[in-house]
Amino acid sequence: MIKIKRAYEPAEKADGKRFLVERLWPRGMKKESLKMDAWLKDVAPSAELRTWFRHDPAKWAEFQKRYRAELRAHPEAWEAIRAAANRGAVTLLYSAHDTEHNSARLLKEFLDRQVSTH
């Protein structure tokens, strides 16, 4: 099972493997305070896509298309998450304020399909 959670929320045993899925470190957070198993920068949207999107809900539909294309082109970036999810609970950590229009939510949906089909 894959869950998502803001990086600023406390870790819980039920989180299982915790992966930070942001290209940039969460603002204001000390590295030693974030409990995680790995920081997977390459699974995050490209710098170009992130800069274009700028968390603008009006661009959400197009962002989803572009980010899914990036994910399909680079399965090596998300394979560790898929493999961990096949063994147990996984939590994707993100730092965006918008809980609806963010790359971690889209990544979770994408990976849910990968886990159930492999």
pLDDT in tens, 6-18: 999 999 999 999 9
| pLDDT top residue among 99 and 39 | 39
Look at residue 116 and tell me whether its pLDDT is greater than 80: no
Predicted pLDDT at 95: 93
CB 17 within 8 A of CB 84: yes
**Structure tokens belonging to residue 117:** 């089909």
The domain of 50 spans 2-117
Q: What is the pLDDT of residues 53-85, one digit of tens each?
A: 988 999 999 999 999 999 999 999 999 999 999
The residue among 86, 78, 92 whose CA lies nearest residue 115 is 86
Q: Count of domains in the chain?
A: 1
> Which positions ≥6 away from 71 have C-beta within 8 Å?
43, 77, 78, 107, 110
The three-state secondary structure class of 59 is helix
